Amino acid sequence: MDYLVLKTIHMSAVALSVTGFFGRGIGALAGARWVRSRLARTLPHVVDSVLLLSAIALAWRLRLDPLATPWLMAKIIGLLAYIVLGMVALRPGRPWPVRATAWVLALVTFGYIVSVAITKSPAGWLGSFPG
């Protein structure tokens, strides 16, 4: 598959994933019923699978080794943090302030991951601050 097509698929999946997470987070925090529907629980897995597969394909195509590419390892670690925070944010049964905090932190983590991808630096946007 052509690199630009693969990158477009990946970036589109990124946009769909964060948009879906943002919407589900608002819905979950507001107690909306639709968040528990089959579609709302299944579609994110489809989008995130496309996202993950396109990321692996891009890394493979570019011959990037996460152990030898610090910015890629930072993205992977950030992804794991995003997943954990997202699970806390979207899972009912936890206190609302805990879920809301996890949701905001997950969105901040997502922003960090994107900044790492753009800057190709493990510091991402954190590296742009003086000091």
pLDDT (0 to 100) of residue 15: 97
pLDDT at 26 > cutoff 80: yes
pLDDT by residue (tens digit) across 50-64?
A: 999 999 999 999 999
Over its C-alpha atoms, the chain yields an Rg (Å, rounded) of 16
Whether 17 shows a pLDDT value over 70: the answer reads yes
Asked whether the predicted pLDDT for residue 125 surpasses 90, the reply is: no
pLDDT score for 131: 53
pLDDT of residue 87: 95
The 10s digit of each residue's pLDDT in 51-107 is 999 999 999 999 999 999 999 999 999 999 999 999 999 998 999 999 999 999 999
Tell me which residue of 93, 128, 114, 126 sits closest to 17, measured CA to CA: 114
Phi, then psi, of 66 in degrees rounded to 5: -55, -30
CB atoms within 10 A of CB 89: 23
pLDDT reading at 130 higher than 80: no
User: 82: closest CA among 9, 34, 25, 3?
Assistant: 25
Domain boundaries, the chain: 3-128
CB atoms within 10 A of CB 97: 8
Query: What's the pLDDT score for residue 127?
Result: 80
Report d(CA 20, CA 14) in Å as an integer: 10
- Backbone conformation region of residue 98, classed left if phi is above 0, alpha if psi is from -120 to 50, else beta: alpha
> Which pLDDT score is estimated for 117?
94
φ, ψ for residue 69 (rounded to 5)?
A: -125, 90
pTM of the full structure: 0.90
Nearest Cα to Cα of residue 48 among 2, 16, 23, 72: 16
